[in-house]
């Protein structure tokens, strides 16, 4: 495996579950995730459950009503979650979800400070060159992110990531100690919201230990524009928006504000090359507007190991890694590329000043029961996904 992010670690967990051995080569000298948050939808939580880490993940998450509470910059609600409403979304500090996965990876599998620089492969095996030497394997998974080295080496014609004309500030506010205290949860105590302004939106998720994750996504003419004080820039742009938005930014340490440009990948013609497969952002990095990037990598891992598990009734000796990877590709490419296409379109729609009025009117006019139905666990096709069933570890012995 190349890459020890969420995609690489969940794949290690998945391979362990079907009795394979793996090495995770991670370029960073220390394992971890950036200081930001994320949400996971029912499809992703089902993938985690199928891989035996559902309960641990659930315990690290916090319910968020971001899909139920839609607001305008002056604070008015377009749609509002009600006490007693279930919410199918869980919000995480990224490091918390990463830690849950790392704890489920067998000791000694992860090597840090291990940068992969070369791949040789033939019909029988694949050999990976990394900063510490070479290692041979039956299978190589490139889970090395949007700027994947595995993709660059084996998919030389693939275009580089595409800048989508959007940029985002993200931060983790300390809502216990900071000025956001008390103002953060709404009057009903249902935390999490999206505030839609003309040309951008502001997302709030509650996360564990009295903190809140926020993200402001807006349009940008070019990539790479940076400010001497990113927190002040975000605060300046949002000064007139409703509380707790200014308070949350104020309660975020300067060094905890991250500014990134939003990019995705154009669809690849295949995710596999012989005994090598791409997974997660390396295969299908997507705009964050559907909150599905990491969730799709969790799905990838379950489908991959289901494909690697010989079908009951398959004649002995009929299994090949290449055929299993082709099954993985055939199942994952249509779904992940449709999700990426949808996320790209959603991002354009929700940050376009031109269509803002129409979008707000449409949301306001939607009857509340219909809106709430759309955000139940099976409310949309992406969330309805069910994982393939894996043989339980006990069945293998
Ligand atoms: C603003 C924003 C908000 C988001 N919100 C959500 C959300 O709410 N929900 C959600 O599901 N997703 C969300 N995502 C998407 C999510 O962050 C990604 O899809 C996910 O982190 C991808 O995981 P990955 O493991 O595939 O890649 P990465 O997390 O990028 O991990 C790749 C790893 O590979 C390592 N690596 C790279 N090259 C090499 C090499 N040559 N050798 C060895 N190691 C290497 C890197 O160091 C890294 O650790 C969001 C993304 C953004 C930008």
User: Kind of pairing, strands 162-174 and 276-278?
Assistant: unpaired
Per residue in 62-88, is it b (16+ CB within 10 Å) or e — as a string? Answer: bbbbbbbbbbbbeeeebbbbeeeeebb
- What pLDDT is attached to residue 187? 53
Look-up of token digits 């349009």: 219
Four-way CATH pick for 6-396: 3.20.20.450, 2.60.40.1530, 3.40.50.2300, 3.50.50.60 = 3.50.50.60
Report whether 283 contacts 300 (CB < 8 A).
Answer: yes
Confidence of residue 332 (pLDDT cuts 50, 70, 90): very high
Q: Does residue 72 register a pLDDT over 90? A: yes
Domain boundary assignment for the chain: 6-396
293 Cα nearest atom in ligand 1: 19
Report whether 71 contacts 360 (CB < 8 A).
Answer: no
Report whether 71 contacts 55 (CB < 8 A).
Answer: no
- What pLDDT is attached to residue 189? 57
pTM, to two decimals: 0.95
Percentage of the chain exceeding pLDDT 90:
81
- Centroid of ligand 1 to alpha carbon of 33 (angstroms): 9
Confidence of residue 392 (pLDDT cuts 50, 70, 90): confident
- Collapsing DSSP to helix, strand or coil, 156 comes out as coil
114 Cα nearest atom in ligand 1: 43
Which of 40, 67, 115, 145 for mutating ligand 1's site (highest number of atoms within 8 Å of CB)? 145
Residue 90 to residues 57, 103, 216, 266, 295, Cα–Cα distance (Å): 9, 20, 19, 28, 12
pLDDT digits (tens, 9 = 90+) for 125-180: 899 999 989 999 999 999 999 999 999 999 999 999 999 999 999 999 987 754 44
62 — phi, psi (to 5°)? -130, 130
Give which of 108, 116, 144 is closest to 283, Cα–Cα: 144
DSSP states along 162-224: EEEEEEEEEEEEETTTSTTTTTSS-TTS---EEEEETTEEEEEEEETTTEEEEEEEEE-SSTT
Name all residues whose Cβ lies below 6 A of ligand 1. 2-8, 25-28, 38-40, 115-116, 143-145, 149, 168, 170, 215, 260, 280-282, 288, 291-295, 297
């Amino acid at each position: 495996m190349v890459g020890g992010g969420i995609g690489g670690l969940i794949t290690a967990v998945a391979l362990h579950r079907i009795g394979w051995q793996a090495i995770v080569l991670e370029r960073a000298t220390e394992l971890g995730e950036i200081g930001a948050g994320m949400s996971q939808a029912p499809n992703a939580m089902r993938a985690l459950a199928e891989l035996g880490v559902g309960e641990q993940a659930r315990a690290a998450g916090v319910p968020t009503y971001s899909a139920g509470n839609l607001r305008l910059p002056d604070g008015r609600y377009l749609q509002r979650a009600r006490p007693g409403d279930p919410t199918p979304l869980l919000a995480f500090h990224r490091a918390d979800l990463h830690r849950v996965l790392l704890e489920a990876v067998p000791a000694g599998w992860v090597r840090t400070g291990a940068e992969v620089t070369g791949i040789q492969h033939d019909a029988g095996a694949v050999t990976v060159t990394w900063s510490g030497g070479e290692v041979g394997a039956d299978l190589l998974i490139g889970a090395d992110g949007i700027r994947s080295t595995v993709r660059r080496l084996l998919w030389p014609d693939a275009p580089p990531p595409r800048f989508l004309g959007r940029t985002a500030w993200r931060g983790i506010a300390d809502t216990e100690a900071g000025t956001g205290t008390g103002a953060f949860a709404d009057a009903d105590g249902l935390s999490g919201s999206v505030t839609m302004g003309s040309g951008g939106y502001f997302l709030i998720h509650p996360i564990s230990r009295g903190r809140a994750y926020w993200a402001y996504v807006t349009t940008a003419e070019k990539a790479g524009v940076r400010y001497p004080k990113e927190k002040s820039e975000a605060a300046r742009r949002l000064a007139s928006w409703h509380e707790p938005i200014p308070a949350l930014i104020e309660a975020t340490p300067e060094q905890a504000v991250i500014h990134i440009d939003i990019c995705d990948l154009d669809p690849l013609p295949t995710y596999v090359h012989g005994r090598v497969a791409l997974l997660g952002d390396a295969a299908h990095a997507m705009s964050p507007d559907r909150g599905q990037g990491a969730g799709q990598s969790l799905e990838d891992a379950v489908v991959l190991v289901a494909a690697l598990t010989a079908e009951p009734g398959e004649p002995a000796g009929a299994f090949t890694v290449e055929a299993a990877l082709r099954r993985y590709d055939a199942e994952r490419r249509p779904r992940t590329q449709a999700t990426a296409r949808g996320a790209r379109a959603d991002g354009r729609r929700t940050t376009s000043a031109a269509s803002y009025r129409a979008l707000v009117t449409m949301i306001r006019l939607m009857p509340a029961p219909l809106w709430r139905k759309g955000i139940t666990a099976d409310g949309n096709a992406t969330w309805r996904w069910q994982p393939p069933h894996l043989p339980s570890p006990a069945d293998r012995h």
